[in-house]
Amino acid sequence: MLCACGCGQETSLAKSNATKPGYVKGQPMRYVVGHNGRKSFVEYVVEDRGYETPCWIWQKALTTAGYGTMYDENGKTAYAHIVFHRRKHGPIPKGAQLHHVCGVRSCVNPDHTVRKTAATHSQADRAKLTADDVREARALFDTGQMRVTELARKYDVSSGTISRIVRRLQWRNVV
């Protein structure tokens, strides 16, 4: 198996089982020893994810919610899709948020993000959910089966939207 860092070197076989890194004795390891901390040599790959034009899928660091992160022009950590959007379309006005029209959080294609106000951005998330989704999400959260971030990924909405739903601040009419 080739090293997952992209160096092209062959990995060795695991000498013992180790749960945390996922080693299975006798099976190829995912990385050459010491390479798991390396950053990908490629920023993004172009993939067809079902939108009108291909997505640019971020290959480096991701948040737990699935958004790419990188250093911006000032050396500060920022969401990759925001940095790519600013490079092509200029500064984002105060109070505006970016919405992925392709629905893929790891996409950094600047043509797949549009500026929205916070209110219209959360409306886009609400439009994705049905009353049955809300009931199921609340049940999964209330019973401790899933956390907010996991639910956000499951329903492809923001963590803030799920948080407001499980606290019954949104979708109050759904019991």
Q: Where are the domains of the chain?
A: 1-38, 44-121, 129-166
The set of residues, in sequence order, having a beta carbon less than 8 Å from that of 157 and lying 6+ positions away, is 125, 126, 128, 129
d(CA 76, CA 72): 5
What is the spatial distance between Cα 99 and Cα 157, in angstroms, rounded to a whole number?
Answer: 11
The CA distance from 157 to 152, in Å, is 5
Asked whether 58 and 68 are in contact (CB, 8 A), the reply is yes
- pLDDT tens-digit profile, the chain (175 residues): 777 666 677 888 988 887 766 778 998 887 777 666 555 678 899 999 888 899 999 888 778 778 888 888 888 889 999 999 999 999 998 888 898 888 888 999 999 998 887 666 555 555 678 888 999 999 999 999 999 989 988 888 878 788 889 998 888 888 8
CB 155 within 8 A of CB 162: yes
> What counts of helices (H) and strands (E) characterise the chain?
5, 6
CA-to-CA separations, 68 to 44, 77, 80, 114, 153, in angstroms, rounded: 10, 10, 5, 17, 14
Q: How far is CA 71 from the centre of its chain?
A: 17
The reported pTM is 0.52
28 vs 30: CA distance, rounded Å = 7
CB 110 within 8 A of CB 104: no
